[in-house]
A = this chain, B = another copy of it.
Amino acid sequence: MPKQNLRIPGPTVVPDEILAEMARPMINHRGPEFAAILRRVTARLQYFFQTRSPVLTYPASGTGGQESAIVNLFSPGDHVVAITIGSFGNRFARIAETYGLQVSRIEFPWGEGADPDVVESRLKTLPPYRGVLVTHNETSTGVTNDIQTLASLIRRHNPDALIAVDAVSSLGCIPLEMDLWDLDVVFTGSQKGWMSPPGVMMIAASERAWQANKSAKLPRFYFDWASSRKKLEAGQHPTTPAVSVFYALDRALELMLEEGREAIFERHRHAGEYVRRRAREMGLELFANPRYASNTVTAVRLPEGFNTKAFMKALREQDGVVLGGGQEHLEGKIFRVGHLGYFREEDLAEAMDKVEQRLRSFGFTGR
């Protein structure tokens, strides 16, 4: 298989030196070598979560983070507000309903961010609520919510609300300050901004969330926080962790510290601007409201009647450029470009050049 320019919003490209870590031999997950890795990884994750709370890890995908937040915070019948702006926000709400919560949705059209004024006025009309579920970066639409503003208005309206933030495709790429912004739960996945393969979900909870956890009655075992925290203090995980992904994360976090948190944010800002500019220059329309455009994933609208399937197939098979497709009702109508985690400027330039050439070969000459 020729080397691909993998430009989907996760799993993201893993640099060779981190891939090499994946090939390291197994060790005892209850022994001192793993304990050292686990302690190092979780301390460094705290730095990127910008929290003093312990960061727990689970062998799971990002969806496991959504489920873990729900089952550890709430009791059956609890009323929660779900601010949804796309597919992953809807999934978060659906998990809450699956577990018997009363969910009030504050929905925005796909491509839009959550307007703080609308959220504030809607919150005032709702009966008392125990928590708010919100997406930081909606991977399905390439939209980043202004979590700082949203969290602050939610907190003003309901000081005890449990604010659970899906930061799967933003954390480590886009600024998010868990403690300073007073967020209660934040989670992400190894395959997004962390330059590592999928397999590890990371989640942190505020002191308020830990208090809520004590009385939360939803059943939980695999994703239980209390047992994970207890084991973490002993340098272990309650069950068998995805050892190889820890090798990768250990090295990835070292590289991220070398690059520097602010420099990483800047690199992503630059990438977002670059991809959006290139798409606009091709005459394509960006799917997201520019005010909320994401710096980790860009969704680009294709013209009505365009043969998206053949276009993406040609890009993949002939050009080696792999893009993300549209989800649900956006299938065939948009493509998505991932620019998070590891990438070099020339990777993005090559991808966008190929997109441009391939569009032309499909008869698209701009609008």
Residue of B nearest to A317 (CB): B32
Chain A contact-residue range equals 35 or more
A267 → chain B, closest Cβ, in Å?
19
Docked Cα-Cα span, A62 to B222, in Å, equals: 10
Docked Cα-Cα span, A29 to B26, in Å, equals: 25
Q: Which residues of chain B are near A50, meaning CB under 8 Å?
A: none
Q: Which residues of chain B are near A284, meaning CB under 8 Å?
A: none
Docked Cα-Cα span, A242 to B100, in Å, equals: 29
Q: Are A199 and B67 in contact (CB under 8 A)?
A: no
Is A12 part of the binding interface, using a Cβ–Cβ cutoff of 8 Å? Answer: yes
Cβ contacts A235-267/B at 8 Å (1 or 0 each)? 000111111110000000000000000000000
Residue of B nearest to A6 (CB): B26
Q: Which residues of chain B are near A10, meaning CB under 8 Å?
A: 240
Residue of B nearest to A21 (CB): B23
Residue of B nearest to A241 (CB): B198
Q: Are A240 and B100 in contact (CB under 8 A)?
A: no
Is A3 part of the binding interface, using a Cβ–Cβ cutoff of 8 Å? Answer: yes
Find residues 1-42 in chain A having any chain B CB closer than 8 Å to their own CB. Answer: 1, 3-4, 6, 8, 10-14, 19-20, 22-31, 33
Q: Which 4 A-B pairs have the closest CB atoms?
A: A61-B239, A199-B242, A63-B239, A23-B23
